[in-house]
Chain A
Amino acid sequence: MAKIIIHAVSRRNFIKTTGLAAGGLLLQGCMKFSNNSKESELASLNAFIKIDMDNKVTLIVHQAEMGQGASTTLPAILADELGADWSNVLLENSLTDPAFKNPKYDLQFTGNAESIRGFHDILRKTAATAREMLKQAAATQWNVPKASLRTENSYIIGKNGEKATFGEFAVPASKLPAPKNVKLKPQTEWKLTGNKSLPRVDIPEKVNGKAVFGIDVELPDMLYASIEICPYFGGRIKEIHENGVRKQSGFVEFFKIPVANPVVAYPPGFNKQEAVAVVAKSYWQSRRALDTLKIVYDKGVNQKMDSKSLYAIYEKTLKGKKWHESVKEGTPIEQLEKVEKTHKAQYYSAWQSHATMEPMNATAKVKGDKVEIWAPTQGQEMAQILISKEFNIPKENITVHRTYLGGGFGRRLLADYVFQAVFLSKKTGKPVKLIWTREQDMQHDFYRPGTMQEFEASVDDTGMPIAMRTKLVSPTILQAVTSVDYVFEGEDPSFPEGIKEIPYHIKNRLLETNMLRLPPPTSVWRTTGFGPNVFALESFLDELAAKAGEDPIAYRKKLVADARSTAVLDLAAKASNWNKPRKKNQGLGVALTHSFESFVAQVVDVSIGLSGILTINKITTVVDCGTVLDPGIARASIESGLVWGLSAALNSEINFKEGRTVESNFNEFKMLTMPEFDIEIETLFINSGEKIGGIAESGPIPIAPALCNAIFDATRKRYRTLPLGKHGVYTQYSADLLPVSTHTI
């Protein structure tokens, strides 16, 4: 395998290696172009495929690599269909281009578990078209029917000994009209995808320190910046006292950065945060200088806001009468009033931070009306749109280079930090790299909002639901990344996910929503609306099953609306030894989700120790995402999701006090650690052959309800609010870190 990821596509944008003192070999090794051919010899068959006369095939990676494996699987799909030699292809990160837009959203971005499911067919068609063009060029030259030719290992091969490299026909092929309705290879002919694990192309440089993330970008003559954003939501900067900052070594200048619209049209009241940035000759000098400044804030109208007052707004709204009717099927109200046996429960999932390991950062170079940006971004085009709007620069004058992302999880769709870097470069006339501190990153996230749900169901004599009424209270999830004003539409498409369409058949159903407007900014976070909503739904179903005296899997199977749900539940039951007699203090819990076009069933097996300590024995996950393209990457994605979901279920949460965020670093925002993930896991895939679904976001969805259902099974105690740490439910590791041992279940 000899893959090279090139982080800047255009040759004009090649970043030179800068030599520095100390004899150290400098970075940017990954930004090199190992392709020695001249640009003019590169034949572009389409936006994704370029071939030079030496038969080097260059494939464009148009989705951000943030750990989900896009830079391996996406070009593998292209190479497979094209018949290219995988061991010899070159990979390039894309710039922005209409061809890279997700047609569902008319936008170029990475997220929503779309990389594979959104582009599998597009990439296959694109590569098949290029393949047919190469074959046509050869067929014309050789005077043979095109149908007699095939491609393999970057060769065009005929039936009578004809053989030529792609390179020999690349130029004539690129001049042919693109054929329509090309035939795609059946799965039986896929060699690189479809149940084959490829070594990931990005891993070698991620174990030797050479991978270039946004924070690693270096430009000649570059300045560095640190920032302090007004910590009070809706507050303003009142005064800035220099306090001797100009004497600080390396100091260049400080700037007050005005408010930016994070995306196109953002409703008032959201993240209108002023900031102060210091530009210096080195990053650490900018930090020291920023610390010197004395900044006085006007705390603004939200200074009394805290977690308690926010929670009270949710509860008041839930008891109120103002609802947007999201789903109404059958006659739910009549059925609920008619039947005596009803059950009602209220759930809450806490606010969460993305906490990507790489803090927000961006590098910008503004020259006249041309802007060049290097950023670890999921929202390449969104950054372009924002900068265009804020600085009144034509979109085509803005080049956004995408580096590796040190985590994305939705946070990096937004371009607030890109705006700041561009602002500073414009002001200083020099390239500027802006790096947020962890504290800034956590305090100025666009959070996964706290979400409250109320479920009420009436049941028949056998305990099965006749009608179900759901109320959802949550701020918007999707607003920050779109230009549609969802507040006026009553709901955004993301925030009712998981309870708007459910994998269960319940005849009479009502979903009412109230989309709150609260001061902290909110946005998409891995699992989007599904995470909190499926926690509520799957917990509630478990409660109904318990009321009916039924086994939770058997109960769900009576209700599921399709065979794929049944299949994942059955396999999860088998693999988790669901029917085996349980030990004392042992509990098993299940949850099901149909999300991002995939079906996932999960079983969590727990033990509750004598002192109330929670031990997770095993997590069994069964996934039907249609077709698995790369089992290794898919498995890693699910494993990753378990940790993500468990963090939010067990300990992590964002709180507010005096109009600002409380947590500012990892000692306060407690993510799952290595010692806590000493757990047996089993992950199974069902290849149903259905349309390909996403998995990166589906994996973490069922873990919280499955865990709470398992704790209920072991203890008969039902936890309806997350995280569990709030109830004193801890793993041994977390309990050991507590100042006082008060942990019992």
Chain B
Amino acid sequence: MITFKVNKKKVSVNDDPDTPLLWVLRDTVGLKGTKFGCGKAFCGACSVHVNDTVVRSCSFPVKYAEGKNITTIEGVGTEDELHPVQKAWIEEQVPQCGYCQSGFIMSTVKLLEHNPDPTDEDINKSITNLCRCGTYYRVRKAIHLAAKLKKS
């Protein structure tokens, strides 16, 4: 039994300890907003927060989640109040197919916590997620907008 918190709720799972956190979140906990893209931590579609860090959950065995706080896309905002990053994403109409966007949003939320006013250069260094639709131009605009929304 491995116990941890997902979006502030306590969760205990019986999965094999080596099961990637991604599949535990998706299939055991039932939160399907975190996506499977490459399975090798290259693309970032599976990005979640483990405590204060962005983790590519496809390559993170669930045993290391023991006692940790996990946040997924379902937990960054609430039904009534979206996270400023999500608001900025809607304002800039960022997603296209949308499959990689949870990962971009999770990476951005953490970037802004560590760096409230990132430059383009900072963004280039921290946001290395892949998007095949090519939403990068609007992702960049939305990150800058989210920084503004967070401050105000």
Interface residues of A, Cβ cutoff 8 Å to B: 18, 20-27, 66-69, 199-200, 202-204, 206-213, 215-216, 218, 224, 249, 282-285, 288, 355-359, 404-409, 435, 437-439, 632, 636, 639-644, 665-667, 671-675, 677-678, 681, 733
Contacts and interface: CB of A to CB of B under 8 A. Distances in A.
B99 A358 contact: yes
Given A216-B32, A405-B97, A204 B90 contact: yes
B129 A674 contact: yes
Given A284-B27, A675-B124, A667 B42 contact: yes
A284 B19 contact: yes
A628 to B, nearest CB: 15
A642 B72 CA distance: 31
Interface string B109-150: 000000000001001110111111111111110000000000
A283 B23 contact: yes
Q: Is the interface of B mostly helix, strand, loop or mixed?
A: loop
Nearest to B58: A438
Contacts of B99: 213, 356-358, 406-407
B54 interface: no
A640 B134 contact: yes
A209 B73 contact: yes
B137 A677 contact: yes
Contacts of B39: 437-439, 665
Nearest to B104: A674
A484 B139 CA distance: 42
Among A206, A632, A666, residue most surrounded by chain B Cβ atoms (within 10 Å): A206
Q: Which 5 A-B pairs have the closest CB atoms?
A: A209-B33, A643-B134, A406-B99, A67-B96, A206-B98
A355 B100 CA distance: 13
Given A23-B9, A671-B130, A207 B30 contact: no
Contact of A67 (B31, B34, B98, B130): B98
Contact of A207 (B19, B89, B137, B138): B89
Contact of B90 (A203, A283, A439, A681): A203
A677 B120 CA distance: 11
Nearest to A639: B137
Interface of B: 6, 9-13, 15-16, 19-20, 23, 26-40, 42-43, 45, 72-74, 77, 82, 86, 89-90, 93-102, 105, 120, 123-125, 127-140
10 contacts: A23-B10, A199-B90, A203-B90, A215-B32, A284-B16, A409-B132, A438-B39, A636-B93, A665-B39, A733-B124
A225 to B, nearest CB: 13
A215 B132 contact: no
Contacts of B130: 357, 666, 671, 673
Contact of B98 (A406, A666, A675, A677): A406
A509 B15 CA distance: 66
A367 B138 CA distance: 45
A640 B45 CA distance: 18
B9 A24 contact: yes
B124 A678 contact: yes
A27 B32 contact: yes
B27 A283 contact: yes
A438 B140 contact: no
A26 B31 CA distance: 6
A617 B6 CA distance: 43
